[in-house]
Structure 1
């Protein structure tokens, strides 16, 4: 019997302003009500499907922040503040501008075009903008109240649309939503959000899923330890002027320890497995993961091919190189199957996609009945491109897997035990990630390298302050917390000339705000360069909250 091991990776960076705590972008909330709710619902509807779900602590922090907002009704997200406004005619000019900018950001073919009232709002705003924009001042509070409502409705998951009454009622009504109706919608969404972490814990407690973790703020671990690791897969990769990130080993250890503490607090036990941010591994990172006591970690087939040759297969777990301590098991994702789900099947009818996937699984099973099939991808970014947020695809896929006697679904911890006797040993590990098997998405471009240099300069200042003894214990803890956010891989991902200019500008600005806030905390002036964008441009705009990553 072949074993199919899904890993669904859930991650969003910290979108909160480092000083005010206000959410500058709403993507955590929107993915929570659409994707995290639906992914839990698919599993609850199909209790014999087993898988691994990976949560990054910085995402869980923000989910809990939103839960507190719904409890206190002290809104730190402009979207929720606008939607809760009893009289939208009283909205400030800033809130109106924010909603006009954000309120149509979605994948339009599946999330806007199917809804005539939402299209009407879009077309009206576009018409006024095309007439030099002055006509926007004539838009009434009703327009803004309806736009906030439709943005929330468009991002609501299928499980919420099918399992409640408020959302389908409002979608059927279409427009002129009252304050009471908007409040009812917020109540329903707030209840869904507050139930998320308990739902996944219950699935884990039942044994249906395994919950794994990622270092706390999603740092690109190989580069935190050694910039030169980028040249293992790309020998000509340009590097930052700074020779290294100061104290990277201790910083990664702190991220890993914080991840385990988060996991134990929220889910009742430490994680057995660790998915490194972006599947990025190096020999030094592998050793730190093993020293931290994890049983397994994982990366991509691209890294495996660079490390063990083009013939190396993902159909078994691998033993780590001889010089790695402990009994760490290493998995490498099947890139073809993972990318079919992530990028291709959204264009197919759900039943056809599920049948095609099952045919691919059968082919691998026929090669060897004991094969392992590791399918790892984001559990949040692909579904907006699917009709009905992938509802029918998952219904047909999980349903077919439940009936198939030749393929069983397993968690990665189960796979590590079941396939241990078949595991070859990795001769060496060439540093890379699940994007092209290299680290080029986070280093090498002039903008990315400049961001690293800025972070290195700040880290040296932070180290001197922490070593000086002039900071109180509380101040030292806050410095480390903010430093962790500055070390997130996402800032470096977005910089460059191939991403949406809108997204590049947002992430560029938030990265610099985090750096400046830490300088203020250290009572130090920041360089004037932090007041100016790092990136000078971007590629074609992307819809939605995050780019459809190459995973």
Structure 2
């Protein structure tokens, strides 16, 4: 085996189900905006550096939403379909909203962008943003904004959310940015065509990268549920023994639901990529002894989770001084576990956003070389750098273009570093060390505190448990045809996703909390209606208000 230090860059791509369950209208645009900016750029960097390697993990609900947007635009171009996203509808429509409230909503949506990286660097957009903010101060001012202002604001919003690789290479986008103002309906049509082309090719691009051996693709259980908590809510106590738990102390029939998410996740993955994945990033890196056993039943060779899960488990196993930059296997059976280096991962996610690209890459490599020198006596070394693959780049200049180009090139050509994937590392002879015991936890702090254990989060769990009990009652007493039953199962799965609980709590912004808690209650309400049951009054009551100012808007968190 090479004495180079094996390094794995693992990017997790995930968005929850944003469409409103009854009408199918998307309540938030983040799936398609991240697709045309981040998923496109992340593929481009790997395509243009043939020696680079990475693991890219997809949540199945994200794949389905990307495909849905693709089908929306294809149908719209044929004149046979309808768009389901308010921003795209406005961009495509020859007539702009007249009512002040509609204009306010649309203008507010076009202001949701990073001030320093997506607004200030574009003077024409920044000018429009200043006018938009002025208009929102007093509602009557909205009447004095003409349609051309609305059009220019919409076009520029999509231009600043465009992938850097597209801005640099697509002549149509360059022409729009050069024109800068007074965009016509033809201009908007050109922009829509570019967006449609990008959405149509996102999934095929990653499939081609996987087929060429440059990328390993892995999967998450279908709707991103916290598997250990579904199996045993009490597992939260292993890492935080004093945490208060929901009144519902056991998620009803959680084992069967976990199997459903695993099976459906694999099915969706195979549908889009044409093969069965060998690796699994369990939602939020959530693992436990029981969870690993279930994951093993579905044939996965490896899983990945957080560094503090390993530290807690080593301590429980009496191995507190053991190496952390290597994989472990629980009781020498089941999937091999790789553990996130929190320090290195969080440097990319948070610290390097403020650095010059070359300085950041130099510092990153310096840390890796230090790890290599300090672990020369260790066999089977693997450094796992795992983080969100979409949200960090909004905080980098040029969408992380120079940082990612330099990172991949320098790591791929370094004499002492081998950029690889988890499966390739195992194929090359890396052997997992034995881990006698595991403490249940996630990639955040090694616990489940981000998703359970405070009043608002526990309230969310109690609402979910109540809905699941109603589901069990109705399913056991009512016959549904196959199509309806599948639709109900998928709606339940969406309600079981981790994202709703992530946002509950006073440390997140009121605006973000409101968006997600409202959508959560809509999804739960729709489940009751699909079951033919009365929607409980408690779903009309707000679960969480937020009010904090979480780092980077709360879309990302530090691992430790």
> Fold match, TM over 0.5?
yes
- Give the gaps of 5 or more residues in structure 1: none
Q: Distance in 2 between matches of 1:531 and 1:312?
A: 51
Say whether 1:343 aligns with 2:343: no
Q: Could you say which residue in structure 2 is the equivalent of 1:79? A: 87
CA distance in 2, matches of 1:372, 1:215: 25
SS at match of 2:543: coil
Kindly state the Cα deviation for residue 490 of structure 1 after the two structures are TM-superposed: 0.2
Q: Does the 8 Å contact 2:342/2:558 carry over to 1?
A: no
> In the alignment, what sits opposite 2:512?
503
Deviates more, 1:24-33 or 1:390-399: 390-399
1:375-402 residue CA offsets vs partner (Å, 9 max, x unmatched): 1111101011000000000111112123
Provide the residue aligned with 1:321 in structure 2. 331
Contact 1:85–1:91 under 8 Å retained in 2:
no
- State the alpha-carbon separation in 2 of the partners of residues 405 and 467 from structure 1: 62
Number of the residue aligned with 1:414: 424
- Distance in 2, Cα, partners of 1:494 & 1:549: 11
Q: CA deviation at 1:469?
A: 3.4
Matches within 5 A, 1:183-222: 183-222=189-228
Q: Which residue number corresponds to residue 55 of structure 1? A: 58
Q: CA deviation at 1:93?
A: 4.9
**2:555 corresponding residue in structure 1:** 547
Aligned-partner SS, 1:52: strand
TM-score, normalized by length of structure 1? 0.96
Relative to structure 1, is the Cα distance of residues 288 and 541 closer, same or farther in structure 2, using a 3 angstrom cutoff? closer
Alignment partners' CA distance in 1, 2:475 and 2:64: 25
Q: Partner residue of 1:176?
A: 182
Cα drift, residue 263 of structure 1: 1.4
Q: What CA distance in whole angstroms lies between the structure 1 residues aligned with 2:41 and 2:401?
A: 8
**In structure 2, what is the equivalent of residue 161 of structure 1?**
167
Distance in 2 (CA, whole Å) between partners of 1:140 and 1:549 is 40
1:45-79 deviation line (CA, Å, top 9, x unaligned): 11111111100000000000000011011110011
1:241 to 229, 243, 247: 247
Tell me how far apart the structure 2 counterparts of residues 500 and 34 of structure 1 sit (CA, whole Å): 24
Q: TM-score, normalised by structure 2?
A: 0.95
Aligned-pair distance for 1:295? 0.4
1:390-539 matches, cutoff 5 A: 390-421=400-431, 423-539=432-548
Q: Any idea what SS the aligned residue of 2:524 has?
A: helix
Is residue 21 of structure 2 the alignment partner of residue 38 of structure 1?
Answer: no
Structure 2: 5+ residue runs without aligned partners? Answer: 77-81
Kept in 2, the 8 Å contact 1:304–1:312? The answer is no
Residue pair 1:343, 1:382 contacting (<8 A) in 2 also: yes
Equivalent-residue separation in structure 1 for 2:19 and 2:157 (angstroms): 20
SS in 2 for 1:525: coil
CA RMSD of aligned residues (A): 1.5
Aligned to 1:122: 129
- Whether the 8 Å contact between 2:103 and 2:142 is mirrored in structure 1 is no
CA contact under 8 A between 1:432 and 1:438: conserved in structure 2?
yes
For the residues of structure 1 that align with 2:128 and 2:415, how far apart are their CA atoms?
50
Offset of 1:210 from its aligned partner? 0.6
